[in-house]
Amino acid sequence: MGKKLLTNLFKTFVFSVILSIAFSCILYSVVRKGSDYSHAVPLIVQSAFLLNGILLIMALPSLFLSYPSIWEKPVFRLFLYFSGPLAFVITDFTFPLDKPDTVIYLFTGIVFLIIHAVFYYKLVKK
């Protein structure tokens, strides 16, 4: 079970990074019309890895679900699996950031949470 949880976290990280990079590039092109992409793309990729890395670290408590005593309790299971990414999304609303930064952080957190939820559904469905 632990190996499956770790694999799901890695897949969540990879898919979320890809979608975050795509959305950030689209948002950058909308906000900065006519700007040069050559200096922005490395920063966008770097920031997507950083934000998703933070989300991955916040989602690590889900690895405790490999213990059968914790897996059998649905309340603990939901809390351990979703508390980290959900805390990231809620925290995004409390920090005074610029609007584009808030949108990117919020999108990254929600995408990570949705992908994480899909893998949770597949895990529970079995």
> Which range of residues forms the domain containing residue 60?
2-22+53-125
Q: pLDDT tier at 39 (50, 70, 90 boundaries)?
A: confident
The pLDDT value recorded for residue 120 is 93
Would residue 7 count as lying in a domain? yes
The pLDDT value recorded for residue 98 is 85
Total number of domains in the chain: 1
Would residue 59 count as lying in a domain? yes
- What's the whole-number mean pLDDT along residues 59-69? 91
Rounded to 5 degrees, what are φ and ψ at 54? -65, -45
Predicted structure pTM score? 0.89
CA distances from 64 to 4, 29, 104 (A): 12, 41, 29
Would residue 30 count as lying in a domain? no
CA distances from 71 to 41, 112, 122 (A): 41, 22, 15
Whether 56 shows a pLDDT value over 90: the answer reads yes
Would residue 39 count as lying in a domain? no
